[in-house]
Amino acid sequence: MSLSTHVLDATSGRPAAGLTVRWESRGDGGWTEAQAGETDDDGRLRGWQPGAGVHRLVFDTGAWFARTGTAGFYPEVAVTFEVTAPDQHYHVPLLLSPFAYSTYRGS
């Protein structure tokens, strides 16, 4: 099983490079950070290996918007999802703009 994400800046039509993303897993005691990283020049982050269960990706959009000189509404975006088939690849893209975002399960 592997997990990846791809963040695109919908305003500029370019990848959101250098955006910090945390992968967290939910257990009995709440959320625990499993790993963190930054998107590459193509807006991608890959190679994480979560198992079955409930996870979330937390995108630090506030810091990224501040670094790019953009006033944004969402200081962070959290996308929660459930891994039910650990043998499959899970891709969680984020299409981002200062006042909206969308996501879906990709391939």
The pLDDT, as a whole number, for residue 43 is 98
Rounded to an integer, the average pLDDT of 57-76 is: 96
The pLDDT, as a whole number, for residue 1 is 73
Structural domains of the chain in order of their starting residue, each with its CATH number: 2-103 (2.60.40.180)
Tell me which DSSP letter residue 44 carries.
Answer: E
CA 58 to chain centre: 6
CA 95 to chain centre: 10
Structural tokens at position 53: 């269960």
| 107 CB neighbour count, 10 Å cutoff | 7
Query: Model confidence over 89-101: pLDDT tens digits?
Result: 999 999 999 999 9
Rounded to an integer, the average pLDDT of 46-75 is: 95
Q: What are the backbone angles phi and psi of residue 49, rounded to the nearest 5°?
A: -130, 65
Query: Model confidence over 29-45: pLDDT tens digits?
Result: 999 999 999 999 999 99
Length in residues, the chain: 107
Of 3-7, 52-56, 83-87, where does mean pLDDT reach its minimum? 83-87
pTM, to two decimals:
0.95
The pLDDT, as a whole number, for residue 79 is 98
Rg (CA), the chain: 13
